Amino acid sequence: MAALLVRGVRDMLKRADFATVPRRQRHKKKWASTEPKFPATRLALQNFDMTYSVQFGDLWPSIRVSLLSEQKEPEPENSQTAAPSHVSWACSPNLRCFTFTRGDVSRFPPARLGSLGLMDYYLMDAASLLPVLALGLQPGDTVLDLCAAPGGKTLALLQTGCCRNLAANDLSTSRTSRLQRVLHSYVPQDVRDKNRVRVTSWDGRKWGELEGDTYDRVLVDVPCTTDRHSLHEEENNIFQRSRKKERQMLPMLQVQLLAAGLLATKPGGHVVYSTCSLSHLQNEYVVQGAIELLDNQYSIKVHVEDLTHFRKLFMNTFSFFPSCQVGELVIPNLMANFGPMYFCKMCRMT
Amino acid sequence: MQLGESGDWYEIPSFQVFDWHRLTPLTWALLTRQTPQPGGQKRTTAFLLRKLMTVSNGGGLEESSFVKPQECAQKPEHTTGLIQRLLEKQKTPVLQEKFVSSLLDMGFSDVHVNELLSIQPGTHPQQMLDIISELILLGLNPEPVCVALKKSPQLLKLPVMQMKKRSSYLRKLGLGEGKLKRVLYCCPDVFTMRQRDIEGIVGVLKEKCLFTVKQVTEILHRCPYVLREDPGELEYKFQYAYFRMGVKHVDIVKTDLLQYPVTKIKQRHVFLERLGRYQTPDKKGQTQVPNPLLKDILRVSEAEFLARTAVSSAEEFEVFKKLFAREEEESEGCVADEESPDEEEEGQKEEQEL
């Protein structure tokens, strides 16, 4: 879990703390059922039991218990704690991240408004930072975040201080306004202007036509079944029966978005595709599908980058699934209850 | 002390300290009557009386509760509690013999008898006999009686009426015929507890949990610790097992489920459930996965539970217990409000999508 400290251009990240956002409290279960018989969260769990028990075999029970148990959350504001024993890891320039050691269930206190009128840190699942780190921004890069809202990864991108221009987009206007607010709360005005952050609400699939061959680095953090979220939150749950069609179309949407992101990359540029789902169909299949599409329809060659070295850096903090065909998958484990987070780095060759 | 029906010697009732002054003249009178010879004996008598006075001014009640006439004159003066020694000698050879022979008749061995006599030396033999008889009548064997009394000597001090009343209540609950042994061992206060506390537990089992009378007896016999539980918590434990885990009455009794602490039950159950290894049966009593046997969940040691039933590591279970404890704490604290105050802060919602 990562929290980012955003103070100003000179005073970049001093400290980042990991924690997740406190999820909404579930209401108490009653002995007699007065809730809907098949809430979406239950449908989600059934779906996962069916697919992931096959996909992960013996690993599934330990993933399942982790998904169903709370993630490490922030402590109540008024409690005083000793400094947690943390592991700090090397990241992109200016990005320092902290997390508690394995098995420690301590929490980070929630972020507060700092002296500059900005929140002092942003709490997120630590694994969410990995795609940003994998992207490997270099100073002066032009960056595109194709599905940016609610903005945690966008912040992290800005945080590296490497973005000459950052384009943040999300299809949903309500979510982009959230994104705007997040940027407003965390990023000082001068940074925002200096980095020339642009927020848009266009259809990500069109980016090939809109801004083809433009960007050095592109992050495609697609909409997915948000596995952990879907097991706990009933509201707007994608496993609701009314959203079944939408859910079934997800892989296709994801391929289109990734393809657009690849098209928007300069030749020689890099793309990272990421989801917070465990599903093969939304992860490896999409990567392979998009690469094939670009090859067949556009004759553009895309090469998948090996992230083994990167993975080794974080092996002590996260649990990685050993058998991904392409990309890396952080799987939740009670000792390190991060993720799920899938990410894959590609390089556009032509 | 009451005028004993079986006693063949005369006892003087005990008085409160403030009544002692009334006794003194009588004692004095007895003593003077008993004094056989003048002279040498006078000194003895005087000394004796002085002792009695000292005792009455601040001595213990026990020491002054009664005086055995002939004993007074005969006993040598011993400064450390003349009266106390007199009291010990209350067990006249005759009574003591009767006591011992009664015990032997009941099946106690010599060893037992000695043990019993040494438990609470101050107790009146008749009292002891009454208590012991009740226990024997309830179906306990001599050895368990000794064990129980050694463990809980306060039983010997119980008023016999209370003992009889409680015994008949326990019999009514089906705890006679030797079933009492285990109960007494685990829960010695079953005789000293308040009637309404026992009734509270029995009431929960019968009326709230709807166990049959036979099942209640079985539960009390096999899991006597339930008598010590808070009735509300016992009811919660039952509800958890019945509704949340889907365990039926028969199985709750058979597997002694109620004896386990509710925390342990919940921890192990929820852990298994989240692993996908336990499912609450649906209306038809079916599950998609075969649930492990209750004994493999609750009766086994933690190590075996983890190795065989959960197939998980000790580390993970430890972390799970901590997380679960926190979840429980928070769900108790959260009354109606679903949103925690933290969530109102900007930029902290929906962290799954970043």
> Residue A28: is its pLDDT beyond 90?
no
* Nearest to A16, CA basis, from A184, A132, A103: A132
CB contact under 8 A, B348 and A22: yes
Banded model confidence at residue A329, pLDDT cuts 50, 70, 90: very high
Q: How far is CA B134 from CA B3, B117, B165, B180, B184, in A?
A: 21, 17, 10, 12, 13
CA distance A122 to A152: 8
Written as one letter, the residue type at B97 is E
The pTM of the full predicted model, rounded to 2 decimals, is: 0.72
User: Tokens 């990005």 identify what position?
Assistant: A95
Averaged pLDDT, A18-33? 47
> Residue A23: is its pLDDT beyond 50?
no
CA distance A203 to A272: 19
CB contact under 8 A, B274 and A226: no
| pLDDT value of position B100 | 84
Query: What is the distance in angstroms between the Cα of A299 and the nearest Cα belonging to chain B?
Result: 32
Banded model confidence at residue A22, pLDDT cuts 50, 70, 90: very low
At A133-145, the pLDDT tens digits run 999 999 999 999 9
| Chain mean position to CA B134 | 16
| pLDDT value of position B34 | 47
CB contact under 8 A, A62 and B275: yes
At A240-258, the pLDDT tens digits run 999 999 999 999 999 999 9
Of residues A111 and A15, more confidently modeled: A111
Structural contact between residues B294 and B252, judged by C-beta atoms closer than 8 angstroms: no
| pLDDT value of position B48 | 44
| pLDDT value of position B46 | 47
Enter the tokens of residue A205: 């699939």
SS3 A127: helix
Banded model confidence at residue A29, pLDDT cuts 50, 70, 90: low
A97 is catalytic: no
Count interface pairs A-B at CB distance under 8 A.
Answer: 128
Of residues A291 and B194, more confidently modeled: A291
CA distance A159 to A128: 14
Chain A window 3-22: which residues touch B at a Cβ cutoff of 8 Å? 20-22
Element of type H or E holding A292: helix A284-298
At A256-284, the pLDDT tens digits run 999 999 999 999 999 999 999 999 999 99
Closest residue in A to B336 (Cα) is A27
CA distance B290 to B166: 45
Chain A window 329-348: which residues touch B at a Cβ cutoff of 8 Å? 333-335
Name the catalytic one among A97, A162, A276, A344: A276
Query: What is the distance in angstroms between the Cα of B202 and the nearest Cα belonging to chain A?
Result: 23
The dihedral over CA atoms of B153, B155, B158, B162, expressed in degrees to the nearest 10, equals 180
Residues of chain B with pLDDT under 50: 1-49, 51-80, 83-84, 86-87, 335-354
* Residue A223 at interface with chain B, using a CB cutoff of 8 Å: yes
Of B276, B323, B348, the CB nearest to A64: B276
CB contact under 8 A, B352 and A186: no
| pLDDT value of position A105 | 62
Chain A window 65-124: which residues touch B at a Cβ cutoff of 8 Å? 65, 68-70, 74, 77, 103, 105, 110-111, 119, 122-124
Q: What residues in A contact B311, CB-CB < 8 Å?
A: 61
Closest residue in A to B346 (Cα) is A182
Closest residue in A to B338 (Cα) is A25
> Residue A301: is its pLDDT beyond 80?
yes
**Own/partner pairs, B76-82, CB within 8 angstroms, 24+ separation:** B77/B44, B77/B47, B77/B48, B77/B51, B82/B48, B82/B51
Banded model confidence at residue A95, pLDDT cuts 50, 70, 90: low
CA distance A274 to B201: 57
CB contact under 8 A, B348 and A152: no
Banded model confidence at residue A286, pLDDT cuts 50, 70, 90: very high
| pLDDT value of position A237 | 94
CB contact under 8 A, A25 and B331: yes
Of residues B65 and A335, more confidently modeled: A335
Query: What is the distance in angstroms between the Cα of B326 and the nearest Cα belonging to chain A?
Result: 9
| pLDDT value of position B136 | 86
Averaged pLDDT, A56-71? 93
Of A49, A123, A124, the CB nearest to B276: A49
Averaged pLDDT, A2-27? 38
CB contact under 8 A, A65 and B334: no
> Residue A131: is its pLDDT beyond 90?
yes
User: Tokens 């850096």 identify what position?
Assistant: A313
Percentage of residues in chain A having pLDDT higher than 90: 59
Enter the tokens of residue A91: 């990241």
Of B322, B327, B351, the CB nearest to A125: B351
ipTM over the 0.85 cut-off: no
Chain A window 157-196: which residues touch B at a Cβ cutoff of 8 Å? 178, 181-182, 185-186
Chain A window 237-296: which residues touch B at a Cβ cutoff of 8 Å? 276
Structural contact between residues B1 and B65, judged by C-beta atoms closer than 8 angstroms: yes
At A66-78, the pLDDT tens digits run 999 977 543 222 2
Query: What is the distance in angstroms between the Cα of B297 and the nearest Cα belonging to chain A?
Result: 17
* Residue B320 at interface with chain A, using a CB cutoff of 8 Å: yes
- DSSP-derived pairing of the beta strands A141-145 and A215-221: parallel
Enter the tokens of residue A214: 């433009």
| pLDDT value of position A72 | 56
Q: What residues in A contact B351, CB-CB < 8 Å?
A: 20-21, 123-125, 128, 150, 152
Q: What residues in B contact A25, CB-CB < 8 Å?
A: 330-331, 334, 337-340
| pLDDT value of position A216 | 96
| pLDDT value of position A6 | 36
> Residue A327: is its pLDDT beyond 70?
yes
Query: What is the distance in angstroms between the Cα of B123 and the nearest Cα belonging to chain A?
Result: 53
Of A68, A103, A111, the CB nearest to B319: A103
CB contact under 8 A, A70 and B243: no
Q: What residues in B contact A128, CB-CB < 8 Å?
A: 351, 354
Of residues A326 and A190, more confidently modeled: A326
Enter the tokens of residue B321: 């217990």
